[in-house]
C-alpha cells in the first residue's frame, strides 16, 4: 500500500483518483523542493510510486434529472452540489474582467469565494447528516490505510473525513497534514465531530503521531479558526501561508514550504539547512 495518502475535499466529483494523482503529485514535489529537500533524493516517479489518492467524489456526483436538462443547471436547487473550478484560473485573462482594476477583481474573487464556501458547507451538512454517506466516504479512505502508511495529507472537507477516520485507528501511527481545514469551526464542524470534543477540546486522533496544519491568508474555510492548536491542543503545529487569489486551492497548499517540510519529515527525507 501507499506511504502517502492524499484525500480531497469538495468539488472533485467530475474527476477521479488517477486524474487528481497525476495533477497533484507535481505540486507535492514542488513542496518538497520548497522545503529544501535535495532534488537527487526524490523524483516525481518515485513520489508517485509511494502515493495514492483516496477518492470519494463519485459518491456525491449528481444524477441527471432529465434529458432536457438545461446547460448550466448543476442541480444545486435540489440539494446537490455541483463542481466549482478554481475561480482565479477562470478570471485570469477573461475578457469580461479585462477592464477591471486589481481591487475590483479581488472583490469579485472574494464574492465567488464566499459563494463557493457556502456550497462547500452544503456538502458538509450532507456528510454530517447522512450516516450512510459518511460510512461510504470513510471506507474510501480506510481502504488505503495500512501499516505502510506514513502520512495522510488532507484538504478542506477531506480534513474532517481524515480526522474522524484516524480517531478510530489506534493500530496505525501516521503523520497528519491538514490543508485549508474547517475543523476548528464550532458552528459547522467542531461540535459535530465524532468522537465529540471533551470540555471544549478536540480528541487527539488515535493514529496520529504528528499533526501539521496549514492555513492560507484569506481562506474562508479556515477563517473561523485558522489555528487548530486552539481546538486540539498545542501538539498541533500551525503554519500560515499566502496562496494569493487561490486561497483555498489545494495546489498552492501542496507546494508550500510548511507542507513540504512536514511531508519530508514523515518520509525521512533530508533537508538542507
**Rounded CA separation 227/231 (Å):** 8
For the entire predicted model, the pTM comes to 0.83
With cell 529544501, the residue in question is 36
With cell 474527476, the residue in question is 15
CATH class of 4-53+128-267: alpha beta
Between residues 73 and 257, the one the model is more confident about:
257
**What per-residue confidence (pLDDT) applies to 236?**
99
Instruction: Please state, as a whole number, how many other Cβ atoms lie within 10 Å of the Cβ of residue 32.
Output: 25
pLDDT of residue 105 exceeding 50 = no
Between residues 74 and 254, the one the model is more confident about:
254
% of the chain surpassing 90 pLDDT: 69
Strands 208-216 and 236-241: parallel
Q: Which residues, 6+ apart, have CB-to-CB distance to 154 below 8 Å?
A: 6, 7, 9, 161, 162, 163, 176, 177, 178, 179, 181
Compute the mean pLDDT over every residue in the chain, rounded to the nearest whole number.
86
**What per-residue confidence (pLDDT) applies to 69?**
53
Task: Name the pLDDT band for 42 (thresholds 50, 70, 90).
Answer: confident
- Mean pLDDT to the nearest integer, 204-210: 99
Write out the three cell numbers for 32. 518538497
Exposure of 150 in the CB half-sphere (CA atoms within 13 A) = 13
With cell 538542507, the residue in question is 272
**What per-residue confidence (pLDDT) applies to 76?**
42
**What per-residue confidence (pLDDT) applies to 73?**
52
Distances (CA, A) of 84 to 15, 60, 133, 178, 252: 12, 13, 21, 21, 17
- Phi, then psi, of 19 in degrees rounded to 5: -60, -45
Among 194, 190, 149, 155, smallest CA distance to 172 is for: 149
Domains in the chain: boundaries: 4-53+128-267
Q: Which residues, 6+ apart, have CB-to-CB distance to 96 below 8 Å?
A: none
Q: First and final CA of the chain: distance in angstroms?
A: 32
Task: Name the pLDDT band for 114 (thresholds 50, 70, 90).
Answer: low
**What per-residue confidence (pLDDT) applies to 229?**
99
Instruction: Please state, as a whole number, how many other Cβ atoms lie within 10 Å of the Cβ of residue 84.
Output: 18
Strand arrangement, sheet containing 174-179: 51-54, 4-7, 151-155, 174-179, 208-216, 236-241
Amino acid at each position: 500500500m501507499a506511504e502517502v495518502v492524499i484525500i480531497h475535499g469538495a468539488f472533485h466529483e467530475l474527476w477521479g483518483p488517477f486524474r487528481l494523482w497525476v495533477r497533484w503529485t507535481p505540486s507535492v514535489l514542488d513542496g518538497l523542493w520548497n522545503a529544501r529537500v535535495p532534488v537527487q533524493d526524490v523524483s516525481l516517479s518515485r513520489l508517485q510510486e509511494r502515493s495514492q489518492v483516496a477518492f470519494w467524489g463519485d459518491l456525491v456526483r449528481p444524477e441527471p434529472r432529465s434529458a432536457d436538462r438545461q446547460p448550466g443547471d448543476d442541480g444545486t436547487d435540489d440539494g446537490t452540489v455541483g463542481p466549482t473550478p478554481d475561480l482565479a484560473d477562470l478570471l485570469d485573462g477573461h475578457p469580461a474582467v479585462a477592464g477591471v482594476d486589481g481591487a475590483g477583481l479581488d472583490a469579485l474573487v472574494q464574492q465567488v469565494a464566499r459563494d463557493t464556501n457556502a456550497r462547500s458547507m452544503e456538502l458538509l451538512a450532507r456528510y454530517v447528516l447522512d450516516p450512510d454517506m459518511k460510512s461510504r466516504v470513510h471506507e474510501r479512505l480506510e481502504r488505503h490505510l495500512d501499516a505502510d502508511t506514513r502520512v495522510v495529507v488532507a484538504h478542506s472537507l477531506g480534513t474532517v473525513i481524515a480526522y474522524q477516520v484516524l480517531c478510530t485507528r489506534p493500530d496505525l501511527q501516521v503523520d497528519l497534514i491538514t490543508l485549508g481545514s474547517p475543523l476548528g469551526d464550532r458552528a459547522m464542524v467542531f461540535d459535530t465531530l465524532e468522537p465529540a470534543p471533551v470540555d471544549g477540546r478536540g480528541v487527539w486522533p488515535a493514529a496520529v503521531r504528528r499533526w501539521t496544519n496549514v492555513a492560507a491568508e484569506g481562506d474562508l474555510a479556515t477563517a473561523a479558526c485558522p489555528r487548530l492548536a486552539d481546538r486540539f491542543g498545542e501538539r498541533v503545529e500551525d503554519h500560515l501561508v499566502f496562496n494569493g487569489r487561490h486561497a483555498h486551492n489545494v495546489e498552492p497548499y501542496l507546494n508550500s514550504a510548511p507542507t513540504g517540510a512536514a511531508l519530508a519529515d514523515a518520509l525521512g527525507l533530508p533537508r538542507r539547512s
